[in-house]
Amino acid sequence: MNNNNKVMRKLKLQVQMSIDGCIAGPNNEMDWMVFYGDEKLKEYENRLHEPVDTILLGRKMTNEFVSYWSNVMNKPEDPEYAFAKKMIETPKIVFTKSLNKSEWPNTEIATGDLKDEITKLKNLDGRDIIVYGGISFDSSLIKENLIDEFYLFINPVTIGNGKTIFKDLKEIRKFTLIESIAFDSGIVLLHYEVKKN
């Protein structure tokens, strides 16, 4: 069987960001985000996750991610319940050098070279892959030019001395704008693809 025409899976980054390019406050604060209660934005996030069958997380982000969505799963009346179910049921891969075995349900551990592991994942049969963080993991993926599509949800707020994910780049990167959407909360989605040479 000839696999020369095989289409690689896409790796997408979804991230909430401030106008000044921060994704967290100086002490990892996330209380600046304004998307809560924005139904159109939630609908968009649901559509974004539909073609996804794998979630990537860094070690530091995983506890927070799994505990948050597990907590929502215990409240069937919660408006986020259906999305939480997707987050828990979608297979996750945690990138870490400190663990050999997963502490979380429906989760595998990846300990190899980042570029090798991601390339291997992209070449496996399957649907799209999405990464939710954290900060150092996102930065490493960006530095290695492994992300195919960026979904930047720009919140109408500035942080000043917050944490960013593009600071490790040593060269100019160019992107193609696929779509931009202004939501009722004041958030603007900027969806970019990496520009091919």
pLDDT recorded at residue 2: 47
Per-residue pLDDT band at 114 (split at 50, 70, 90): very high
- Give me the CATH number covering residue 184: 3.40.430.10
Residue 1 has pLDDT above 80, yes or no: no
Q: Which two tokens stand for residue 24?
A: 């967290």
The reply to whether 22 falls in a domain is yes
SS3 of the chain: helix, strand, coil, percent, to 5: 25, 25, 45
pLDDT recorded at residue 197: 65
The reply to whether 5 falls in a domain is no
What is the enclosing helix (H) or strand (E) of 81? helix 81-89
The reply to whether 158 falls in a domain is yes
pLDDT recorded at residue 4: 56
Least confident of 4-13, 43-52, 115-124: 4-13
pLDDT recorded at residue 6: 67
- If one counts the domains in the chain, the total is 1
Could you tell me the residue range of the domain that residue 122 belongs to?
A: 11-26+35-194
pLDDT digits (tens, 9 = 90+) for 27-48: 988 899 987 778 899 899 999 9
The reply to whether 3 falls in a domain is no
The reply to whether 135 falls in a domain is yes
What mean pLDDT comes out for the span 2-30? 86
3-state secondary structure of 196: coil
The reply to whether 53 falls in a domain is yes
Determine the straight-line distance between the first and last CA of the chain, rounded to whole angstroms: 30
pLDDT digits (tens, 9 = 90+) for 132-155: 878 999 999 999 999 999 999 999
The reply to whether 84 falls in a domain is yes
Q: Which two tokens stand for residue 28?
A: 């990892």
The reply to whether 2 falls in a domain is no
